[in-house]
Structure 1
Amino acid sequence: MTIYGYARVSTAGQSLNEQKETLKNAGAEMILSEKYSGTTTVRPQFEKLVAIIEPNDTLIVTKLDRFARNTREALNLINDLLKEKIMIKVLNLGTIDNTPMGRMIVRTLLSVAEME
């Protein structure tokens, strides 16, 4: 069981250091990171992460909006990971679980993040 971290910032001028340090302190053993806007579908490191993560591994992100560009994309991704028995931890939220209440909380928070 590997604990992965994923960090992303939206512009080249932003630093990944704070997210990486936070993920490391949360137990991430391997951290993949990139500087890409949330509006682009090009996220090579995230695609690599999705390809290598396995059942019973854990994925940690600092905030829910690091996952995807919009609510629909994030929900699809989260559902796919949960189906594969991958634990998802969002540090400012907690563990996302595959229950009706867990799914409702995620949908609500993603909608708010998209609106911002």
Structure 2
Amino acid sequence: MKYGYARVSTNEQDLANQLEQLKNAGAEKIYSEKYTGTKRDRPKLDELLSILSEGDELIVAKLDRLSRSVQQGTELISELQEKDVVVNILNMGRIDRTPNGSLMLNMFLAFAQFERDMIVQRTQEGREYQRQHNPNYRDGRKPKKTTQQIKEILDYLRVHTYTETARLFELDKSTIVRYKQRYGQNKK
């Protein structure tokens, strides 16, 4: 049986193009997910890998949808080849067990890892630039509470315990401690 696997890294990205490519390549059943490619354990990929057996074909649009590192990709494809599963990377072709196939696989995996490393480097450089040039820049997610809501939480904390405050506002105590440290209000 021919199985397809499609993946994007974030919820904002679209799977439609990959899904269409996999259908056009003859995939009879497609597993897809929105999950980072840097992790080896991905729920839908793990599910698919558990059912693949001798004679099946795994189709992916591009190698980096399957793996972003040389080590991870080599291990994964070697496991599939040991089970006699055909691996078909649409922009490369079928990966076989010949020396040429092994060389091509390792070269393409090296480029996938290089691309991932460059993305990380550019992201870090962008953050560093923002830290140096934007006084309002903060790393991480945006706060879930507005400044006004945080003020209300800290006002309540002045006459109540952390436990009571956390329960009422449905927050962790550590979040309230961070708010108190960041906004400088002291409990009386």
Q: How big is the shift at 1:32?
A: 0.1
**Where in structure 1 do 4 or more consecutive aligned residues deviate above 6 Å?**
none
Return the structure number with greater strand share: 1
Q: CA RMSD in A?
A: 0.9
The equivalent residue for 1:12 is: 11
Aligned AA for 1:52?
Answer: I
Aligned AA for 2:93?
Answer: G
CA contact (8 A) 1:8 1:34 kept: yes
Aligned AA for 2:46?
Answer: E
The equivalent residue for 1:101 is: 100
Q: How big is the shift at 1:41?
A: 3.6
Query: Structure 1 residue 33 and structure 2 residue 23: aligned?
Result: no
Q: How big is the shift at 1:70?
A: 1.2
Q: How big is the shift at 1:68?
A: 1.9
The equivalent residue for 1:44 is: 43
Aligned AA for 1:34?
Answer: E
Give the aligned length.
115
Identity of aligned residues (%): 46
- 1:55-70 aligned at under 5 Å gives the runs 55-70=54-69
Q: How big is the shift at 1:67?
A: 1.2
Query: Structure 1 residue 24 and structure 2 residue 23: aligned?
Result: yes
Return the structure number with greater helix share: 2
Task: Report the TM-score when normalising by structure 1.
Answer: 0.95
- Tell me the SS of whatever aligns to 2:58: strand
Q: How big is the shift at 1:39?
A: 2.3
Structure 2 distance, partners of 1:24, 1:39, is 25
Structure 2 distance, partners of 1:109, 1:41, is 18
Q: What do residues 40-86 of structure 1 show as CA deviations (whole Å, max 9, x unaligned)?
A: 34410000000001100000000011112311011001011011110
- Tell me the SS of whatever aligns to 2:32: strand
Q: How big is the shift at 1:113?
A: 1.2
Task: Report the TM-score when normalising by structure 2.
Answer: 0.60
CA contact (8 A) 1:8 1:33 kept: yes
Structure 2 distance, partners of 1:40, 1:75, is 14
CA contact (8 A) 1:36 1:42 kept: no
Task: Extract unaligned runs of 5+ from structure 2.
Answer: 116-188
Q: What do residues 80-101 of structure 1 show as CA deviations (whole Å, max 9, x unaligned)?
A: 1011110010000000001111
Q: How big is the shift at 1:38?
A: 1.5
Aligned AA for 1:46?
Answer: L
The equivalent residue for 1:113 is: 112
- Tell me the SS of whatever aligns to 1:32: strand
CA contact (8 A) 1:71 1:114 kept: yes
